[in-house]
Chains A and B, each alone.
Chain A
Amino acid sequence: MGVDRGEVERFLYEEARLMDEQQYDAWEALWTDDAIYWVPCNADDIDPTRHVSIIYDDRDRIGHRIARLKSGEACAQDPPSRLRRLISNIEITEAEHGDLEVRSNFLVIEVRQDQRIWAGATIHRLRQVDGRLKMAGKKVLLVNNDRELPFLAFLI
């Protein structure tokens, strides 16, 4: 299958902007129904059935996460974090079932009372659905996933 690198880049940049600007409904619409949103804890490769994650959301829990953020009553996002992130080092590899596996690096500046930096790599599993890319999976490898973290209440 031919891969349009431009389309993949546009997708990643759009996703980044939706997260930065708290456009929750639009971000939620990027997911497929069988999606997993995963931020491993303590190491990049863990067995999530035996080891706790920072986030391991199935599609239902992604919905709960968004509903909570949209309620305006989540203290950890009231006021919402000011966010800007850079996405770089994009590498595309073919994956099974026609899904695309895309690796990229990110750097997020989060401003609340103080300024926090979050960094890591993301592995997206992207799928063509009705002529547009959607996220069937997203695994976020924080460089500090084995260190003491401040709360992570925004979308990463």
Chain B
Amino acid sequence: MAQPTSTSSIDYDALIKDDQVHGRLYYDPAIFEEELEKIWYREWIFIGHDSEVPNPGDYVVRRIARQPIVITRGDDGQVRVLLNRCPHRGNAVCQRERGNTRVFRCAYHGWTFDNAGDLLGVSFWSGYDESFRKEEMGMTRVPRLGSCRGLLFASLSADGISLDEHLGQARKYIDQFVDLSPTGEIEVQAGIHKMRVQSNWKMYVENGVDNYHANFVHQSAIAAQSKELLAKLRATSADASLAVTRDLGGGHTMLDFFPQNRVAGLVPTATAGAVSREAEAAYVDALGRFHGRERAGALLAEGPPHVMIFPNLFITNFGIDLRTIHPLAPGLFYNYHLPALLKGAPPELNAYRIRRYEGAYGPAGFFLADDMEMWERNYRGTEARVNEWVVLRRGVHRERPDADGLPIAHITDELPQRAIWRHYKMLMTRP
């Protein structure tokens, strides 16, 4: 696939400073189109999980930004990602969101493809001569597909760094999420929350690793549930908090709540009182048998990571799900949440996790509804054009290296946002 050859007319150096960025980066349609080419159709994009298509013939329809794709498992058991487009006249082939089939049939002229995307049959065959090569007329596969613990990443560019290189320091946090399963496997088979957000996708990326806002935007959600929880979350943001923001490199960023959670006894995975003692004990025992007691103990005390893997995989400390975004326009993106069941955990525990998750998240969740409103206000604010700078200066003086030399700062600091923009600028200005 040819890369675009035109050089950008946009001066990203002028728009992205170390501690502030210009509003045009959010609303300019020309910048948005460049982002599609330079980030979304080139980088490793999170698209789903292989457990969504457990059986041969299973498929789900998804997208990479605007491009429609189908994740399918062939009769040979292999997962493939196809562009959801008939190579004949370009019709979208798959109309259902998910299903199981041996054959994809384009309804426009009746061409058929097997569940690996290879062309099976062309109707009224005599209309083509011997120059028609059936093997070249299958549904197009995405150039690169990679997987990590069953999480699927696709790249629409044939060249680029490997998925391992891309994930880098963030990889171990994918492990931390999946390892909460007592079999080391998750099942993304619990449905999907789909949200439509009238905002710019980068506001989502920035907000996911912004702990500063939680004290204000989420106050009503937390207070309604528990005053004790509110006090603990206040302490998480206090000056003395042990929680830190992290720049993991590669645009990946993190809110590391683990040190504070341990001292505050704030345990995101806690089930005590919510599920039966038998179910809780069965889960804890199974986790210990699989991982060893020490690792299991750490997983239970820390919970899932709170990590934003650039540009579109988000895992939160309070969730049970894999989150992704799909930009469609400067002021429009889709946000999908894929809740994960812990394979081998007691059904009662998985049911409880779903209940707890959906109280906070999804279109009517106490946390997410408020976030969605704030992302949209954030975008509406960009219409004000007299002073367009967005200030990301918080905690510049408090940045420091951790024991491994990676940058950290206070949990309320804007270190992640600065790291995201630094990486973004590199991607947007490379040849």
Which residues from chain A sit less than 8 Å from chain B, CB to CB?
Answer: 39, 41-42, 46, 48-57, 61, 64-65, 67-68, 71-76, 113, 146-153
Contacts and interface: CB of A to CB of B under 8 A. Distances in A.
B351 A42 contact: no
Given A49-B351, A49-B354, A151-B195, A54 B362 contact: yes
A100 B55 CA distance: 41
A151 B366 CA distance: 10
Given A65-B366, A76-B370, A150 B193 contact: no
A46 B190 CA distance: 10
Contact of A152 (B225, B339, B359, B363): B363
Interface stretch (B38-46, B67-75, B214-222, B254-262): B214-222
B191 A52 contact: yes
A50 B225 contact: no
Contacts of A61: 359
Contact of B334 (A48, A76, A113, A148): A148
Nearest to A67: B224
Contact of B191 (A51, A67, A151): A51
Interface of B: 97, 189-198, 217, 219-221, 223-225, 334, 337, 339, 341, 347, 350-351, 354-355, 357-359, 362-364, 366, 368-370, 372-374, 376-377, 380
30 contacts: A39-B364, A41-B362, A50-B190, A50-B347, A50-B351, A50-B354, A51-B354, A52-B191, A52-B192, A52-B354, A54-B364, A55-B364, A56-B358, A61-B359, A64-B366, A65-B366, A68-B220, A68-B221, A68-B223, A72-B220, A73-B220, A73-B223, A75-B217, A75-B373, A146-B194, A148-B194, A150-B197, A150-B198, A151-B364, A152-B363
Contacts of B369: 74, 76, 151-153
B219 to A, nearest CB: 6
A48 B380 CA distance: 36
Residue in A65, A74, A113, A146 whose Cβ sees the most chain B Cβ within 10 Å: A74
Given A50-B341, A67-B223, 6 more contacts: A49-B351, A56-B355, A74-B221, A149-B194, A149-B196, A151-B369
The 3 lowest CB-CB distance pairs between A and B, nearest first, are A148-B196, A73-B220, A76-B369
Q: Say whether chain B's binding surface is mostly helix, strand, loop, or mixed.
A: helix
Contacts of A150: 195-198, 363, 372
Given A51-B190, A52-B354, A150-B195, A64 B359 contact: yes
A41 B191 contact: yes
Nearest to A42: B191
B207 to A, nearest CB: 12
Residue in A51, A71, A151 whose Cβ sees the most chain B Cβ within 10 Å: A151
A149 B195 contact: yes
Contact of B194 (A72, A113, A147): A147
A33 to B, nearest CB: 18
Nearest to A41: B191
A149 B368 CA distance: 12
B181 to A, nearest CB: 15
Given A56-B355, A149-B196, A76 B372 contact: yes
Contact of B380 (A51, A73, A113): A113
A42 B192 contact: yes
A42 B350 CA distance: 19
Contacts of B368: 151
Contact of A153 (B97, B198, B357, B373): B373
A75 B370 contact: yes
A91 to B, nearest CB: 26
A113 B377 CA distance: 10
A71 to B, nearest CB: 5
A45 to B, nearest CB: 12
Contacts of B97: 146
B350 A54 contact: no
Contacts of B189: 50
A123 to B, nearest CB: 18
Contacts of A71: 220, 223-224
A22 B359 CA distance: 20
A124 B77 CA distance: 44
Contacts of A72: 220
A58 B217 CA distance: 24
A151 B373 contact: yes
A41 B192 CA distance: 8
